[in-house]
C-alpha cells in the first residue's frame, strides 16, 4: 500500500474551468434597462434619418459619366473623384514627374511599417529616418540625378499633408523633450525659458502662428534673406506641435518615480544617459493616449495651411471642385478628403491601442 | 590586521539639515574593509539619510565622508569614483520596469562603464545565477514576486563590481515568506567578504552576520557594539527600549 492508493478519489474531481458567462438574450441586450432602450430607439431613429444620405452616396450615385454637367442630378458624383483623383492626391506637381511624390509616399509608408515594433526603436532607426527624409526631400525637389527641379510652390496634395504632419511631429518631438525637461529643471533660467515658450505658443491660435510665419516673418527678416513659404509653414507647425507635445511629455515625466533616477545615479549612469534610457522611455509609455491625441490633432491641423496658400490635400480638393466643367461637386471632394484623413487618424489610433496593450502585458499587476 | 589600515568608509562629524530640520547630528562612523555593519533605530531617525549621504544621493552640509580613501566633495570625478566603489539596494527595489531582468543588469554596465553588450549580458547572467533566478532573465520586473525583484536588484548592483554594498531596509517591503530568500542572498555576500552597511530590523540577520550594530535615534548614533553585547547587554537605556519594542 502506498499513498498513491488515495489518488483515485482525487481524480474524481472534475477539472474546474471558470464558468462561462451566460449568453444574454438579444431582447435583453437591446432593451434590458432604461439606458439600453433609449440608446436602441435613438440609434434606430438615426439610422432611419441616414437613409437619404445612403441613397445619395450609394444607390443614386453616379460612378462614371460622359456628361460632367449633369453628373450630380441624382446622387453623388463619384465620377468626379475618379477624374480628379490624381489632382487631389498630387496637386499641381508636374504630371510627368508624379512618380516622385508617389515614391515619397511609398517610402513614408515603408518607414512607418518598419518603425511599428518598439523592438526596433533606437539610434539606428532614427538614423534611417533622417536618411529617408533627406531622400524624400531630394525626390520632391529634384534638380539632381537627372530629375527636373520642382519648386515647393508646385508641391501639393497628399504628399504635402503627409510631409507636414510627419516633419512637424518629428522635428517638434526633440524640442518638446527639451522644453519638458527644461520646465522641470531646478535651474531657473532653463525653467523660465521653457515655461515662456510653451505658454506663449499655446496661447496663440495656430492660424495666427501660420500668418506670423508666412506673412510677418519675411518682413522681419533682414533684406536678402528668404525662407521658402513651405519651410516657414513647417516651422510654425513644428513650434506648435512642440509646445503641446512638451506638456504631454512633462505629464509623463512627473509619473516616473524619483527612485528611478536615484537607482541610475547609484549605479553610476551619467545623467543624460539616465534621462534618455531610463526616464524618457517610462515617461512616454505613461502618456501614449495623449501623445496619440496630439499626433492626430497635428495631422488634421496641417489642413489649416491652406489659409496661407500652401497647397495641401484639402486645398487641392477645393481647387478641383471649382472646375467649371463639373457641377460644383464640393461635397464629394470634401467627403473624399475626409475619408483619407479618417483612415490616417484611425490608423494612428489603432496603433496606439496596440502599443498600450503591449506595454501593459509587461506586468500582471 | 593590515586590512584595517584603510577604512572602507570614514564618516566624520557629519551634519545634515533638511531645510531647518537637523536630520543628522555630528555622526562619526568608520567601517573597515570587509566589515559588516547593521544600522537600526526607530523610523525617522535618519538611517536612510545617513547611508544615502555616502554615495551622495543626499548632500550633507558639514563634516567629511571618504570612501576607500576618496574624499566626497564637490569634485565630480571623485563622486564618479565613489559610485563605482559603492553599490546600493533600495527598500522598493527601484528596478527599471520597462527593461527585462537581464537588461536591468546589463544596461547600467553599458551606460556607466561602456562595456560591450555581450560582455554585459554575460556578467548579468553570472550574477542572476548567483542570486538563483537565471530562469527569470527575460521577464519584466512587474512579473516577478517582491523577493525575486529584490534579488534582481542585488544582482544589478553586483554587476557593477562594487567593493562596498549599502542596503536600505531591503526586506521591509516584502511579504514575510519572501524575507528569507533575500536575507540568504545577503548572507552569502557577507560570507564572501563584501563590505556592507545594512539598515534593517531583521535582528536574526544582525546577530548572525554583523560585526557591529549601530543604533540611531533622532539623528544621532546612540550606541555601537558587537552583536552579542548589543542584544544581550545594551549600554544605553534607549537602546534597551527600542529592542524591547521590536522583539515584543
Ligand atoms: N527629502 C526630505 N525632505 C525633508 N525631510 C526629509 C526628507 N527625507 C527625509 N526627511 C525626514 O528626515 C527624517 C529622517 O528620515 P530617514 O533618513 O528616511 O529616516 P529612517 O530611514 O531612519 O526612517 C525623517 O523625519 C524624515 O521625515
Ligand atoms: Mg528609511
Number of neighbouring beta carbons within 10 Å of residue B129: 13
Ligand 1 pocket residue status of B23, Cβ below 6 Å: yes
Give the closest ligand to the alpha carbon of residue B217: 1
How many A from CA of B47 to the centre of ligand 2?
6
Task: Decide: residue A354, CB within 10 A, 0-12 exposed, 13-18 middle, 19+ buried.
Answer: exposed
Our mutation pick for probing the ligand 1 site, out of B20, B21, B59, B215, counting the most ligand atoms within 8 A of Cβ, is B21
CA distance B103 to chain A (A): 11
Location of C-alpha cell 555576500: B189
Contact A259 B94 (CB under 8 A): yes
Q: Is B149 in the pocket of ligand 1 (CB under 6 A)?
A: no
- Residue numbers in A near B110 (CB within 8 A): none
What was the pLDDT predicted at A15?
Answer: 63
| Mean per-residue pLDDT, B5-15 | 89
This prediction has a pTM of 0.83
Nearest CA in chain B to A269: B112
Rounded to whole angstroms, how far apart are CA atoms B213 and B204? 12
pLDDT, tens digit (0-9, with 9 covering 90-100), for B76-86: 999 999 999 99
Can you give the pLDDT at residue B2? 43
3-state secondary structure of B128: helix
Average pLDDT, chain B: 93
Answer whether B164's CB lies under 8 Å from B195's CB.
yes
- How far apart, in whole angstroms, are the C-alpha atoms of residue B136 and residue B156? 14
Q: Counting beta carbons within 10 angstroms of the beta carbon of residue B24, is it exposed (0 to 12), middle (13 to 18) or buried (19 or more)? A: buried
> Would you call B90 and A259 a contact, using CB atoms and an 8 Å cutoff?
yes
Q: Specify which of A43-47, A184-188, B86-90 reaches the highest per-range mean pLDDT.
A: B86-90
Tell me which residue of B144, B148, B155 sits closest to B103, measured CA to CA: B155
**Do B140 and A363 make contact, defined as CB atoms within 8 angstroms?**
yes
Residues within 5 A (CB) of ion ligand 2? B 48
Q: Does residue B185 have its Cβ closer than 6 Å to ligand 1?
A: no
| pLDDT score of A5 more than 70 | no
Rounded distance between C-alpha atoms, residue B40 and residue B22, angstroms: 19
Question: Quick check: B57 and A259 CB within 8 A?
Answer: no
Determine the Cα–Cα distance for residues A163 and A235; give it in Å rounded to an integer.
12
Q: What is the mean pLDDT of residues A57-82?
A: 80
The pLDDT, as a whole number, for residue A363 is 59
Q: Tell me what the mean pLDDT of segment B236-243 comes to.
A: 92
Torsion of CA B150, B151, B153, B155, to 10 degrees: 170
Cell of B90: 533600495
**Predicted local distance difference test score (pLDDT) of residue A7:** 45
Strands in B86-89's sheet, in edge-to-edge order, are B86-89, B164-168, B195-199, B36-40, B212-217, B220-225
Contact B108 A262 (CB under 8 A): no
Nearest CA in chain A to B160: A267
pLDDT at B212 over 90: yes
The region of weakest confidence among A239-243, A246-250, A288-292, B123-127 is A288-292
Task: Quote the percentage of chain A above a pLDDT of 70.
Answer: 94
Contact B143 A269 (CB under 8 A): no
Q: Do B108 and A268 touch (CB under 8 A)?
A: yes
Given a cut of 50, whether residue A4 has pLDDT beyond it is no
**Does the pLDDT at position B11 exceed 60?**
yes
User: How many whole angstroms separate alpha carbon A321 and alpha carbon A305?
Assistant: 18
Dig out the grid coordinates for B72 from the structure. Answer: 566626497
Helices and strands (DSSP H and E) totals, chain B: 9, 10
Better-scored residue on pLDDT, A212 or B120? B120
What is the A262 CA–ligand 1 centroid distance (Å)? 16
More confident residue, A217 or B187: B187
CB atoms within 10 A of CB B172: 14
Rg (CA), chain B: 18
According to DSSP, the β-strands at B7-18 and B21-32 are antiparallel
A297: phi > 0 → left, psi -120 to 50 → alpha, else beta; which? alpha
- B83 contacts A363? CB cut-off 8 A: no
Pairing mode of beta strands B7-18, B62-67: antiparallel
Reported as half-sphere exposure (CB side, CA atoms, 13 A), residue B61 has a value of 12
Q: Is the pLDDT of residue A146 over 50?
A: yes
Q: What pLDDT, on the 0 to 100 scale, is given for residue B132? A: 93
Q: What is the pLDDT of residues B83-133, one digit of tens each?
A: 999 999 999 999 999 999 999 999 999 999 999 999 999 999 999 999 999
Q: Is A25 in CB contact (< 8 Å) with chain B?
A: no
Domain ranges of chain A: 80-252+286-362
Confidence (pLDDT) at B248? 65
Q: Which CATH class for the B4-247 domain? A: alpha beta
Looking at the CA of B52, name the nearest ligand. 1
CB-based burial of residue B148 (10 Å sphere; 0-12 exposed, 13-18 middle, 19+ buried)? buried
Strand partners for B40:
B215
> Going by C-beta distance under 8 Å and a sequence separation of 6 or more, which residues neighbour residue B12?
B28, B63, B64, B65
In ligand 1, the atom with minimum distance to the C-alpha of B47 is 22
Instruction: Identify the residue among B94, B109, B145 best suited for mutation to test binding to A, counting A beta carbons within 10 A and taking the highest.
Output: B94
Which pLDDT score is estimated for B219?
94
Check whether A195 has a pLDDT greater than 90.
yes
Other Cβ atoms within 10 Å of B152 Cβ, number = 26
Cell numbers that stand for B146 in this block:
517582491
Tell the burial category of A52 from Cβ atoms under 10 Å away from its Cβ (0-12, 13-18, 19+).
Answer: exposed
Other beta carbons within 10 Å of B167: 26
Atom of ligand 1 nearest to the CA of B42: 22
**pLDDT higher than threshold 50 for residue A231:** yes
B57 and A363 within 8 Å at the Cβ level: the answer is no
Note the pLDDT of residue B20: 94
Q: Show residues of chain A in contact with B143, CB under 8 Å.
A: 362-364
A24: contact with B, CB 8 A cutoff: no
Q: Whose CA is closest to atom 7 on ligand 1?
A: B18
Report the alpha-carbon distance of residue A271 to residue A200 in Å, rounded. 29
| pLDDT, mean of residues B43-65 | 95
Contacts of A274 in chain B (CB under 8 A): 111
Within 8 A of B56 by CB-CB distance, chain A residues are 265
The secondary structure of residue B9, as a DSSP letter, is E
Residue B200's pLDDT is 95
- At residue A332, the pLDDT reads 84
Q: Which ligand has its closest atom nearest to the C-alpha of B45?
A: 1
Q: What spacing in Å lies between the alpha carbon of A364 and ligand 2's midpoint?
A: 28
* Exposed/middle/buried for residue A259 (C-beta within 10 Å: 0-12, 13-18, 19+): middle
Compute the distance from residue A193 Cα to the ligand 2 centre, in Å. Answer: 37
Please give the torsion angle defined by the CA atoms of residues B77, B78, B79 and B81, in that order, rounded to the nearest 10 degrees: 90
Q: Which atom of ligand 1 is nearest to the CA of B58?
A: 1
Question: How far is residue A325's CA from residue A321's CA, in Å, rounded to a whole number?
Answer: 10
Better-scored residue on pLDDT, A59 or A148: A148
Instruction: Give nearest CA residue, ligand 1 atom 13.
Output: B44
Write out pLDDT tens, residues A293-312.
Answer: 999 999 999 988 888 888 88
Specify which residues B223 forms β-bridges with: B215
Residue A69 pLDDT exceeds 90: no
In angstroms, the Cα distances linking A201 to A90, A196, A209, A303, B237 are 31, 8, 8, 19, 64
Q: Is the CB of B200 under 6 A from ligand 1?
A: no
> Could you tell me which CATH class the domain A80-252+286-362 is placed in?
mainly alpha
Distance CA(B182)–CA(A341), nearest Å, equals 55
- pLDDT tier, A8 (very low <50, low <70, confident <90, very high otherwise): very low
Query: Which has the higher per-residue pLDDT, A118 or A340?
Result: A340
Contact B33, B77 (CB under 8 A): no
Those residues with Cβ within 8 angstroms of residue A271's Cβ, 6 or more apart along the chain or in another chain: none
Q: What is the overall mean pLDDT for chain A?
A: 86
Amino acid at each position: 500500500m502506498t499513498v498513491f492508493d488515495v489518488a483515485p478519489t482525487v481524480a474524481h474531481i472534475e477539472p474546474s474551468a471558470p464558468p462561462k458567462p451566460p449568453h444574454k438574450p438579444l431582447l435583453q441586450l437591446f432593451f434590458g434597462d432604461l439606458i439600453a432602450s433609449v440608446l436602441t430607439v435613438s440609434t434606430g431613429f438615426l439610422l432611419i434619418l441616414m437613409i437619404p444620405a445612403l441613397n445619395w452616396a450609394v444607390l443614386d450615385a453616379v460612378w462614371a459619366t460622359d456628361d460632367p454637367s449633369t453628373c450630380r442630378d441624382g446622387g453623388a458624383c463619384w465620377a468626379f473623384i475618379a477624374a480628379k483623383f490624381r489632382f487631389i492626391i498630387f496637386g499641381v506637381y508636374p504630371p510627368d514627374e508624379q512618380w516622385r511624390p508617389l515614391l515619397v509616399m511609398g517610402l513614408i509608408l515603408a518607414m512607418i511599417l518598419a518603425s511599428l515594433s518598439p523592438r526596433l526603436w533606437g539610434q539606428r532607426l532614427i538614423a534611417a529616418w533622417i536618411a529617408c527624409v533627406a531622400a524624400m526631400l531630394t525626390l520632391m525637389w529634384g534638380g539632381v540625378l537627372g530629375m527636373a527641379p520642382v519648386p515647393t510652390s508646385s508641391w501639393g496634395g497628399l504628399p504635402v499633408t503627409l510631409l507636414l504632419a510627419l516633419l512637424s511631429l518629428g522635428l517638434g518631438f526633440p524640442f518638446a523633450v527639451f522644453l519638458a525637461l527644461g520646465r522641470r529643471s531646478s535651474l531657473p533660467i532653463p525653467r523660465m525659458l521653457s515655461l515662456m515658450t510653451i505658454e506663449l505658443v499655446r496661447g496663440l491660435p495656430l492660424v495666427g502662428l501660420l500668418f506670423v510665419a508666412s506673412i510677418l516673418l519675411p518682413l522681419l527678416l533682414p533684406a536678402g534673406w528668404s525662407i521658402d513659404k513651405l519651410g516657414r509653414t513647417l516651422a510654425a507647425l513644428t513650434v506648435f506641435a512642440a509646445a503641446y507635445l512638451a506638456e504631454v511629455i512633462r505629464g509623463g515625466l512627473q509619473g516616473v518615480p524619483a527612485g528611478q533616477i536615484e537607482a541610475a545615479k547609484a549605479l553610476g549612469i551619467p545623467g543624460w544617459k539616465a534621462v534618455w534610457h531610463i526616464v524618457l522611455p517610462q515617461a512616454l509609455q505613461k502618456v501614449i493616449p495623449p501623445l496619440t491625441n496630439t499626433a492626430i490633432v497635428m495631422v488634421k491641423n496641417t489642413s489649416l495651411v491652406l489659409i496661407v496658400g500652401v497647397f495641401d490635400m484639402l486645398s487641392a480638393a477645393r481647387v478641383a471642385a471649382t472646375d467649371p466643367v463639373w457641377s460644383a461637386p464640393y461635397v464629394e471632394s470634401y467627403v473624399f478628403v475626409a475619408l483619407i484623413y479618417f483612415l490616417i487618424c484611425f490608423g494612428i489610433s489603432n496603433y496606439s491601442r496596440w502599443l498600450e496593450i503591449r506595454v501593459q502585458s509587461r506586468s500582471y499587476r | 590586521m593590515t586590512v584595517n589600515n584603510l577604512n572602507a568608509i570614514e564618516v566624520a562629524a557629519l551634519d545634515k539639515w533638511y531645510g531647518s530640520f537637523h536630520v543628522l547630528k555630528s555622526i562619526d562612523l568608520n567601517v573597515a574593509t570587509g566589515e559588516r555593519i547593521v544600522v537600526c533605530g526607530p523610523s525617522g531617525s535618519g538611517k536612510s539619510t545617513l547611508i544615502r549621504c555616502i554615495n551622495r544621493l543626499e548632500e550633507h552640509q558639514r563634516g567629511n565622508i571618504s570612501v576607500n580613501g576618496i574624499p566626497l566633495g564637490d569634485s565630480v570625478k571623485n563622486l564618479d569614483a565613489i559610485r563605482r566603489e559603492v553599490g546600493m539596494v533600495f527598500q522598493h527595489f527601484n528596478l527599471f520596469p520597462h527593461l527585462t531582468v537581464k537588461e536591468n543588469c546589463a544596461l547600467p554596465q553599458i551606460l556607466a562603464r561602456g562595456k560591450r553588450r555581450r560582455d554585459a549580458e554575460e556578467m548579468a547572467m553570472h550574477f542572476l545565477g548567483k542570486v538563483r533566478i537565471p530562469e527569470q532573465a527575460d521577464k519584466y520586473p512587474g512579473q516577478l514576486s517582491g523577493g525575486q525583484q529584490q534579488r534582481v536588484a542585488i544582482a544589478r548592483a553586483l554587476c557593477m563590481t562594487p567593493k562596498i554594498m549599502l542596503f536600505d531596509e531591503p526586506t521591509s517591503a516584502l511579504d514575510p515568506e519572501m524575507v528569507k530568500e533575500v536575507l540568504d542572498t545577503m548572507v552569502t555576500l557577507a560570507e564572501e567578504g563584501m563590505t556592507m552597511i545594512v539598515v534593517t530590523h531583521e535582528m536574526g540577520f544582525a546577530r548572525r552576520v554583523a560585526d557591529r550594530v549601530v543604533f540611531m535615534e533622532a539623528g544621532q548614533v546612540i550606541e555601537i557594539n558587537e552583536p552579542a553585547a548589543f542584544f544581550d547587554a545594551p549600554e544605553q537605556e534607549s537602546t534597551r527600549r527600542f529592542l524591547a519594542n521590536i522583539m515584543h
